A and B are shown apart, each in its own frame.
Chain A
Amino acid sequence: MKIDKQKLIELLVNKTGMQTKEVEKQLDQLIVRILDATNNGKALEIKDFGLFYFNESGELKFDPADELSAEISFKYAGMKPIEIQPDRDTSIATDEEDDIFSVTDESGDKVTDESMPEPDELIFKEEKKKKPLMIELFDDDEAEAEDEDFDFLSDLPEEPKPKKAEEKEKLAAAKIRMQRTPERRQSNTGIWVIVAILLISIIAAGLYIWMSGTSETTPEGQQAVVTPQAQPGTQQLTDITDDITQPEETIATNESETEIDTEPVPETTVQPQPVPEQQSIPPDQPMYGLMGVLNPQAVNSYSIVLHSFTEEPTAINTANQLGMEGYRAQVTTRTVANNTMWRVSVGQFESLADAQAAANRLPTPYNTQNFIHRIQNN
């Protein structure tokens, strides 16, 4: 709806209790004052509302105050960018491999002298130092540096082989070989890292199977009992991975478990809350999906947020309505700047791509007015 000047004056009259003429006069004075200030090259700020000024091209501009912007976009308050992980795993790893292996490829020849590691080792260390800085810039997912290292090292033993045949034909390689020694050492490290990663993966897979098997045979409420038992295993995993690397997905799983077990949930953590009127899960219902009954065993799932409320009863009522329409609806809380918000979301999806595809299939206006967030159940 469009509020014109006449309607605005009516609203102001109702708000202030002043006479219409008085309000008109005050509004005109305000406009004149804004224009006077800006014409003189100054900016006029209305506290908690915004700043009026003329820009370089002579247009009147208005920058809303942070408070006003926050109120207008309150529905999306506290939302942070989500990294899309599959793209990261494939594209970035290969780019960086090319850069780094432009040095390491040459080490494919049999180099026996390992006493002169200095030059390339320094280069390698510098590469490793740069990575954490990159992550600080993005200020996002902690796991990516380790992921990059993992990609780099896991491919290391395979790379020298094709280069071997080419290098044999070159006689001038003798001097260069002396400088390639560090990569040989790194390849040993790489083997150890791969072994460690394999062990971690096996342990993680075993834990996952064990936990899912246990939770299937016990009622929902007993999941909290299962989690502490898993802690020694996960703690061991994080100890091992302090110095070495592992795939991002494994780290994400471990983080969610250890975070919940070892320390209080931070304010910004999503806390799933079951919708009160929940039905039993049909035996033929898949683990993930948009429709059906909410499955508490679908941990670390993605969900499509359709509403954000400041009051819990409203959120629960809305979730119940969506549940009656057949959606897997749930309510989660999020605390932003001491304000608690209740988000109503539908669906449980294994991947972000699945969630996005399902979001596009939602009826209007949900298909455009939604966002996806990740839910980590304990």
Chain B
Amino acid sequence: MDSEFIIAFKEVLREELTKKNSVYIEGLGQFEVIHREQYHKRYDTGKVLLMPPTDLLQFKANIKNPHEN
């Protein structure tokens, strides 16, 4: 496999995902960016933190492990 292709593949996916576009690759799955809002995190001690928002990359596969059966 061509290393130039791998570099281009990474760049294209990175560009599209930073633009919040989802990328669907047939036979593999879908990459998409989801936004997680800020939320309150409460510890057992009673301490409450306001956790910052973040954008996360999520991958949903459309195949299963063939050896799983």
Contact = CB atoms under 8 A, between A and B. Distances in A.
Interface of A: 1-5, 8, 11-12, 15-16, 18, 23, 26-31, 33-35, 38-39, 46, 48-50, 54, 57-62, 64, 68-69, 71-76, 79-84, 87-88, 91-92, 95, 134, 138, 140, 144, 352, 368-369, 371-372
Given A1-B21, A8-B12, A12-B9, A68 B57 contact: yes
Contacts, number: 160
B20 to A, nearest CB: 8
B68 A138 contact: no
Contacts of A144: 47
A144 B43 CA distance: 14
B18 A74 contact: yes
Nearest to B30: A2
Q: How large is the interface on B (under 10, 10 to 19, 20 to 34, 35 or more residues)?
A: 35 or more
A81 B61 contact: no
| SS class, residues of chain B in contact with chain A | mixed
8 contacts: A60-B63, A69-B56, A71-B18, A72-B55, A74-B18, A76-B55, A81-B51, A84-B50
Contact of A82 (B49, B63, B66): B49
A132 to B, nearest CB: 13
A291 to B, nearest CB: 23
B22 A3 contact: yes
Interface string B15-54: 0111101111111110101010110110101111111111
B50 A352 contact: yes
B1 A371 contact: no
A49 B35 CA distance: 19
B67 to A, nearest CB: 6
Contact of A91 (B5, B6, B46): B46
A31 B25 contact: yes
Nearest to B10: A49
A18 B33 CA distance: 28
A50 B23 CA distance: 15
A61 B65 CA distance: 11
B13 A58 contact: no
Contacts of B2: 18, 26
Given A46-B10, A59-B64, A69-B57, A83 B1 contact: no
Nearest to B42: A87
A86 B49 CA distance: 11
